[in-house]
Amino acid sequence: MDATSQRLLMCRPTYFAVGYAINPWMDPSAPVNTALAVRQWEQLRQTYLDLGHTVEEITPVPGLPDMVFAANGGTVIDGKAMAVQFRDPQRADEAPAYRAWFEAAGFEMYDPKHVNEGEGDVLLAGDHLLAGTGFRTAHAAHAQLQEVFGYPVITMQLVDPRFYHLDTALTVLDERTVAYLPEAFSPGSQAVLRRLFPDAVHATMADAEVLGLNAVSDGRHVVLPAQATDLAAKLRDRGYETIGVDLSELRKAGGGPKCCTLRLRQGKASK
Ligand code: ARG
């Protein structure tokens, strides 16, 4: 399996906290260790550098504790960047911060017309865009994504509030393969996934409950939460190299490695 070197955007969790609850993982009364979150995040960043990826950083903004979840900052494919619109007011101000970064970096900008939480809900799998809805990204946003990026968009209906973003329920492993938790999807979406990806890896609830599916693959190496041991074993059986990282502090906000990572896809060649 060939690894692709990736250009990634990350945001240091300098102001990370859990002061509000917008998903079932978040408990504002539970203690959070921000310094530990930063160290865990630095290890994730170093893991990407060791794999030969390029990591760019957006400056964190005080008062935006979830800004560390860069996957929600946009969708960037073929040099086009679509900005986001958050469902929850607590995250609204992250959208212009990320938008300004994309613009300064020279991407062709598109603005969302509906709630759209970026790569949290929009995953490029080969020549299809898989787009989640049910909790965050509005179904209406899917049509705009198809129009802007020109990839067929496949709607994925999410049904379990713990797996509120598509990237908590499904991982793209390479152009042909995904791993996912079937129960996180409606019966119709499960049927679509079976049709599109007959060889997919099925994760267990135990893997999903440690956010094991919130993983980042370069086609060969899969960076995933260290606690997702069953999933890691299945991936190794399929020939992937797995790298476990511990993001226990960020999980208190409902985020894992993929949430912290936005893929910047420059042009067709580096898709
Ligand atoms: N606390 C954040 C929220 O609920 C976590 C976002 C995780 N990001 C992701 N791509 N799944 O919005």
Query: Interior CA angle at 167 toward 162 and 169, to 5°?
Result: 50
Average pLDDT, the chain: 97
**Which pLDDT tens digit goes with each residue over 182-225?**
999 999 999 999 999 999 999 999 999 999 999 999 999 999 99
Q: What are phi and psi of 140, to 5 degrees?
A: -60, -25
pLDDT > 90: percent of the chain: 96
- Contact criterion met (CB below 8 Å) for 74 and 97: no
Rg for the chain, CA atoms, rounded: 17
Give the helix/strand (H/E) hosting 155. Answer: strand 153-157
Is 67 near ligand 1, meaning CB less than 6 Å away?
no
Is 174 near ligand 1, meaning CB less than 6 Å away?
no
Q: Which one of 11, 53, 142, 165 is the catalytic residue?
A: 165
Distance between CA atoms of residues 196 and 189, nearest Å? 10
Cα torsion angle, 45, 55, 21, 186, sign: negative
Is 165 near ligand 1, meaning CB less than 6 Å away?
yes
Q: Give distance in angstroms: CA of 92 to centre of ligand 1.
A: 13
**Which pLDDT tens digit goes with each residue over 11-54?**
999 999 999 999 999 999 999 999 999 999 999 999 999 999 99
Annotation says 165 is catalytic: yes
Residue 267: the pLDDT is 66
Annotation says 259 is catalytic: yes
Residue 1: the pLDDT is 74
Residue of 69, 98, 224 with the most ligand 1 atoms within 8 Å of its CB, for mutation: 69
Is 117 near ligand 1, meaning CB less than 6 Å away?
no
Buried/exposed 41-70: b ≥16 CB within 10 Å, e otherwise:
beebbebbeebebebeebebeeebbbbbbb
Q: Give distance in angstroms: CA of 1 to centre of ligand 1.
A: 30
**Which pLDDT tens digit goes with each residue over 159-177?**
999 999 999 999 999 999 9
**Residue 268 pLDDT > 90:** no
Over range 99-114, report the average pLDDT.
98
The minimum-distance atom of ligand 1 relative to the CA of 26 is 1
Distance between CA atoms of residues 20 and 15, nearest Å? 14
Residue 17: the pLDDT is 98
**Which pLDDT tens digit goes with each residue over 221-250?**
999 999 999 999 999 999 999 999 999 999
Distance between CA atoms of residues 159 and 268, nearest Å? 33
Sequence-separated contacts (24+) of 92-101 with Cβ below 8 Å: 93/61, 93/63, 93/64, 94/61, 94/64, 94/66, 94/67, 97/58, 97/61, 97/64, 97/67, 97/73, 98/58, 98/70, 98/73, 98/74, 99/74, 101/9, 101/58, 101/73
Distance between CA atoms of residues 211 and 29, nearest Å? 21
- Contact criterion met (CB below 8 Å) for 71 and 58: no
The minimum-distance atom of ligand 1 relative to the CA of 253 is 1
Q: Which amino acid residue places its CA nearest to atom 8 of ligand 1?
A: 259
Residue 3: the pLDDT is 85
Q: What is the DSSP letter of 229?
A: H
- Contact criterion met (CB below 8 Å) for 38 and 65: no
Over range 107-127, report the average pLDDT.
98
Is 259 near ligand 1, meaning CB less than 6 Å away?
yes
Residue 104: the pLDDT is 97
Q: Which residue has the tokens 């509030």?
A: 161
**Residue 270 pLDDT > 90:** no
Residue of 115, 123, 165 with the most ligand 1 atoms within 8 Å of its CB, for mutation: 165
Is 23 near ligand 1, meaning CB less than 6 Å away?
yes
Give the helix/strand (H/E) hosting 82. Answer: strand 80-82
